Structure 1
Amino acid sequence: MIQRIQSVYLLLVTALLTSNIFLPVGSFLDKNGMLYPFTPLHVALPSAGLNYTPWGQLALLILGALISVATIFLFKNRKLQIRMCVFNTLILAGYYIVFLLSMLLTKSNTQTTYQFSLGLCFPLIAMIINYLAIRAIRKDENKVRAADRIR
């Protein structure tokens, strides 16, 4: 189970998404030159009176991490494992949509500028690693089918 390469890939996806919850995905710069970090856990702009948690982003990151952990244990059903990886990739694409909406709405309401951070790349890296996991699972499925044909 864990010795397969797709399990390592899925663990990497889980680690990236879990760490992305706590890392800033960017920061808002107000007209006074103050930087305010924007994380999926918390956004605070005291000058504009904003202090909230972007629940959509947080929920999608947690859901993506849980799905990738659960996918590891579906090693006996490779077709379902592939579907779960594709679903996880769609969830991460949805994360970027929710992020853009949240960032643009906050930016337009507060008259600030936005600076991107390295944490914003983690879901994209997780999507790429998810694709590598799908390829490895398909390779396993092809090996099993070839072994069944030989019997």
Structure 2
Amino acid sequence: MIQRIQTVYLLIVAGLLIAAMCLPMGYFTDTMGEHPFKALGMGVNGAFQSTWGLFGILMLSTLVAAATILLFKNRMLQIRMTIFNSLLLVGYYIAFLAFYFALKNDANLFRIGWALCLPLISIILNILTIRAIGRDEVMVKAADRLR
């Protein structure tokens, strides 16, 4: 299980998504200062604006990546779960844009944090995972044909 490269990819995906949950995705800057925009929310002028949907998507995606590792005996389900994980991460960016436009007003600027690129790196690693699982499936089918 751990000796397969797709397991390493999925472990890295889970780690990156945990880091993305904890780190700020960006910073809103206004006259009152700089306000970090995290996955759980953002505090502005003493009020807390909740963005728990982003945290939920990242948490679900992390759980899917961890569960996909344990499905090493069913490669086709593993591929489907990895595709689902990638679609979740695309949905994360759509939800991020929705929260960004809901929280942004004309008086503040937004500076992107480097943690915003971690789900994109996870999508790329998911694509590499799908390719590696597909190669394993082809190799197993070729070995079954030779028997």
Normalising TM by the smaller chain, what interval? over 0.9
Task: Summarize the alignment of residues 31-50 of structure 1 with structure 2, pairs less than 5 Å apart.
Answer: 32=31, 34-46=33-45, 50=47
Other-structure match for 1:144: 140
**Sequence identity percentage:** 48
- Could you tell me how far apart the structure 1 residues matched to 2:47 and 2:85 are? 31
- Name stretches of at least 5 consecutive residues in structure 1 with no aligned partner: none
Query: TM-score normalized by structure 1?
Result: 0.94
Match of 1:90 among 87, 92, 99: 87
Runs of 4+ in 1 over 3 A off after TM superposition: none
**Pairing partner for 2:121 from 101, 125, 140:** 125
Distance 1:12 1:50 in 2: 35
Answer yes or no: is 1:115 the counterpart of 2:111: yes
TM-align CA RMSD? 1.2
CA offsets 1:74-104 (integer angstroms, 9 cap, x no match): 0010000000000000000000000000011
- TM-score of the pair, normalised by structure 2: 0.96
2:2 maps to 2
Which segments of 5 or more consecutive residues in structure 2 lack a partner in the other structure?
Answer: none
